Amino acid sequence: MTIAVYPGSFDPVTNGHLDIANRAASLFDRVIIGIYDVPQKHLLFNTQERVDLMKKSVTHLRNVRVEPYSGLTVGFARAMNAKVIVRGLRMSSDFEREFEMALMNKKLDPDIELVCLMSSLEFQFLSSSLLKEACQLGGIIDSLVPAHVAESLKSKYNIRSS
């Protein structure tokens, strides 16, 4: 059985993340989505909110589970008995960061492999940070996230639903 973890901030989860989660679920026996508990960047949603939004987004995937984690991602992978870390790659800018992190992770735990899935064409431009910016400025973001995420985003920014 191959277990994979898919770690990230997911602040909040987007359709781009879900595309990767769906594809990982069909590749691996089990996928555990790891919601990073203490990212060093400003977050809109707290850990519990990010976990809840993600859980609600993957109810259709029977072999996927969602867990918060802190500390090293390889430590989380090991604790979950995972051999694989899944990440999504958009354009070239993600590549450099992922490559660097992969080399560091390999040093920390040589038994864990990184598997990068290329972002689907329609989600290449989509990031949680751009999404938040667009939503805050009144942009219509409904086609970029599940409905419950759109609702939560709008309520954070005090935007009335249409």
- Count of residues making up the chain: 162
CB of 144 to ligand ADP, least distance (A): 9
Please identify which residue in 5, 10, 18, 146 interacts with ligand ADP, judged by CB under 6 A: 10
Beta-carbon-side half-sphere exposure of residue 74 (alpha carbons within 13 Å): 14
User: H-type helices in 13-146, by residue range?
Assistant: 15-27, 47-57, 73-79, 91-108, 128-136
Of the candidates 16, 24, 32, 153, which one interacts with ligand ADP according to CB under 6 A?
A: 16
Structure tokens at 107: 């040093």
Q: Does 94 sit near ligand ADP (CB under 6 A)?
A: yes
Q: What angle do CA 122, 128, 132 make, to 5 degrees?
A: 110
In the list 28, 45, 69, 123, the residue contacting ligand ADP (rule: CB under 6 A) is 123
Instruction: Reply yes or no on whether 42 is catalytic.
Output: no
Can 154 be counted among the known catalytic residues?
no
Q: How many CB atoms lie within 10 A of CB 158?
A: 7
CA 146 – CA 107 distance, rounded (Å) = 37
Decide if 17 is catalytic.
yes
Pick the binder of ligand ADP from 4, 9, 32, 141 (CB under 6 A).
9
Q: Which of 41, 60, 62, 160 is catalytic?
A: 41
CA 158 to CA 153: how far, in whole Å? 9
Residue 17 amino acid letter: H
Per CB under 6 A, 50 contacts ligand ADP: no
132 binds ligand ADP (CB under 6 A): no
Q: Active-site residue numbers?
A: 17, 41, 90, 128
- For binding to ligand ADP (CB under 6 A), which residues are involved? 8-10, 14, 16-17, 20, 39, 87-88, 90, 94, 119, 123, 126-128
